[in-house]
Amino acid sequence: MIIKYFVKLCKYKSKYSNFNDFYIKYFIYRYFSGKKYVKKLHSQRYPIQFTLRMSSTIIKQSIFQGKTDRYQGITVFSEEESCSVEEFTDKLKNSMDTWKNDGKRGVWFKVHLNQCDWVPILVKNGFSYHHAKKEYVMLYYWLPQHESDNVPSYAHTMVGVGAVVLNESDQVLVVKEKYFYTAPMWKLPGGYVEPGENLVDAAIREVAEETGIQAEFDSLLTLRQTHQQMFGCTDIYVVMNLKALSQDIQKCEKEIAECKWMDIEEYLNHPHVHELNRFFVQKMLHHKKHNIKIKCDHGVHQLLKRPYTVYSVLKTDDENAFEFNK
């Protein structure tokens, strides 16, 4: 049957300059629609324009359309392209063959809960899990046979923030958590950064949620990195120096056992403060003594048109810029 179609197409090669496009569309058209629709390709009843329009429609119905990214990958969104389980396997095969011929690299299927019956079929056809969220699972297949799979792992680092918050009396805001430590420890307020949240905003939010204290950004102090934490992820903890804008504490009853303002010297020598938190406060004192700030600036990427925040070190010439009462 394939040879028959090819011989028929060769007769029209001299009439149509775009023979490759014509061949693909006409072959798929005849393959899926059968003989009853077209007997003479260029007859008045079935003009070439009609044939090509029909073939384009059939092509779209027989493969997933997806969306191509800048890395020559393609992503299929299950909520945007409906397909029954009975038709899925054939449509997947047709799509994969087409994408291979088109030189696609990574093939992604974002499968939402309503189409979860796609998942076992994709896995049986060589797809791997990449990541999952509450409402969907993402699977992928690396098409190039002579190119190593360079798809990055999904987010493997969790980011938290802590804050050294000072009031006008040069006291530091400290908390005891209800559930974190077996032995109660005085620590800095803080928590995990929400998706799409800036570090500074996260620190200010966590302080307000845990203690009721309103604060503003002064400087980034330092960060700590550790591995094999929650869900086996790397964990980065970024510590900010914030200036308190209010004084009255209203602790979060759900998470916080105790909360208070504590003199810095008392905190640095308290038996229920671990060494890392002492280091954070000592670093704050060091920055102030040497007039150092790590400030943040906001901008928009020229090419990607996406907002960003950049942190940089600033050493001022004004010795009073970081006034600190000893």
CATH 3.40.630.30 residue window(s) in the chain: 67-142
Q: Is 322 helix (H, G, I), strand (E, B) or coil?
A: coil
**pLDDT value of position 22:** 46
pLDDT < 50 regions, the chain: 1-4, 6-7, 11-23, 26, 29-30, 32-46, 50-52, 54, 319-326
d(CA 174, CA 261): 6
| Strand ranges, E, within the chain | 67-68, 74-77, 106-112, 128-132, 136-142, 157-166, 171-177, 190-192, 215-226, 234-244, 256-263, 292-300, 307-315
**pLDDT value of position 230:** 80
- 8 A C-beta contact, residue 186 and residue 175: yes
CATH 3.90.79.10 residue window(s) in the chain: 157-315
Report strand pairing: 67-68 vs 171-177: unpaired
- 8 A C-beta contact, residue 99 and residue 143: yes
Q: Which CATH number, 3.90.79.10, 3.30.420.40, 3.40.50.12780, 2.40.50.140, labels domain 157-315?
A: 3.90.79.10
Which helix (H) or strand (E) segment holds residue 73: the answer is none
Strand partners for 23: none
Whether the pTM exceeds 0.75: the reply is no
What share of the chain in percent tops pLDDT 70?
A: 77
Per-residue model confidence as pLDDT tens digits over 266-296: 999 999 999 999 999 999 999 999 999 999 9
Residue 46, CB half-sphere, CA atoms under 13 Å: how many? 14
Task: Encode 214-267 in three state secondary structure.
Answer: CEEEEEEEEEEEECCCHHHCEEEEEEEEEEECCCCCCCCCCCEEEEEEEEHHHH
CATH topology of domain 67-142: Aminopeptidase (3.40.630)
**pLDDT value of position 6:** 46
- 8 A C-beta contact, residue 217 and residue 175: no
d(CA 60, CA 100): 16
**pLDDT value of position 60:** 57
Give the torsion sign (CA, 223, 228, 234, 235): negative
**pLDDT value of position 47:** 52
Per-residue model confidence as pLDDT tens digits over 74-122: 999 999 998 999 999 999 999 999 999 999 999 999 999 999 999 999 9
Angle between helical axes of 2-11 and 19-33 (0-180°, round to 10): 140
**pLDDT value of position 182:** 66
